[in-house]
Amino acid sequence: MLNKIITSLIPLLCIYNVSSQNNIDKFGFNRAVKDFQMKETLVILGEAHEVAGTYILESFIVEEFAKKGYTTLIIEGGNSEAIILNEYLRTGNESILEYTRARGGDYRRLLTKIKTLININLNLEIIGVDFERARCLEYLFSIWFNNITNPKLKAVISSLQSINSKTSPKKIKKIILKVKKDYGKYEIAFKKELGKNSEQLFKIIHNPCFEADYGMSSRKRDKSILQNLMNINTEKLKKSILIFGSNHFTHKKHFWPAFANSKASEIECLLILFSYKNCTNFTQNNKYNSTEPLSIYVENDDPEKCKISFELVKNTKLSLSEKENRMIIVKLINQ
């Protein structure tokens, strides 16, 4: 009877351990990162979105590197989302998170953790290098354009403000590209009306990445992500943490191989990929397991145990960079 009671409590104990980070092997993390210089290194986290344990783990990793002087988070989001998230980090106004992916769930808790780090004088800035989301654009355009009466901007503002949370990716792309084509006509007027926000508007309009280009392979989207990454100052990259889905780092058609090899002479990259076994998938309400090539790292782990452990892997076929042939695999088991 006692054994049955203990067995029934295992899932509850897991939830408690994950939320309190008691099952994160912190000693194993420090041992794994010692192999890297950590002075001029871009840290890259490859996750599975909306899977239990992911954002708790990322909170821990971000805090550890923030203590080492890292100042920038590069996210799988656009300029518009980064603007809103940075405003939240400055002001603490949680209501504006409703217009981002942090409007609920674990991703919101990740952002509130980052805000806590800023409160203890650890500087962090967010940069977006992916496509602009409709909900983010709707919020910013309503704030920025609300009091503009310049007749020269009336038509272009009306076009941009037609974007709302239900606007299709194809239509958003069409609107943005049309505005971009004639942006020279409006640039001076926008600078006068928006001040520093005109620089942010310019970045949004000239972002080469669109959700409409996602497709089955996301090859076109990844080329645009690569372009945005290459535009970031190398010195800033050396103190940055890049957080993207693992697929972008495990397949040759995505941006990672081209980026890693083009930057090989300038910067070291620490690739940390997450491998999952028997973890809750919040979007599908079932259990999630990594597929190849990441699944091999958790094949022999007990799916009933709760743990988050770290393993330094060298000379692996998974490496897609000519220079970097080592990475850290994080095993998330039964989260």
Query: What domains can you pick out in the chain, each with its CATH number?
Result: 23-132+214-333 (3.40.50), 134-206 (no CATH)
Helix 134-145, helix 169-181: angle, nearest 10: 40
pLDDT of 323 reads 66
Q: Is 297 exposed, middle or buried (0-12, 13-18, 19+ CB in 10 A)?
A: buried
Residue 15's pLDDT band, with cuts at 50, 70 and 90, is very low
β pairing state of 286-288 and 279-281: antiparallel
Over residues 79-107, mean pLDDT: 94
pLDDT of 59 reads 94
pLDDT digits (tens, 9 = 90+) for 224-247: 999 999 999 999 999 999 999 999
State the pTM of this model.
0.90
Residue 1: pLDDT over 50:
no
pLDDT of 19 reads 39
Residue 8: pLDDT over 70:
no
Q: Which residue blocks in the chain are alpha helix, DSSP H? A: 2-20, 26-33, 54-67, 79-91, 105-119, 134-145, 154-161, 169-181, 183-194, 197-205, 219-230, 234-237, 247-250, 255-262
pLDDT of 163 reads 98
β pairing state of 307-314 and 240-245: unpaired
Residue 320, classed as helix, strand or coil, is coil
Across the chain, what does the average pLDDT equal?
89
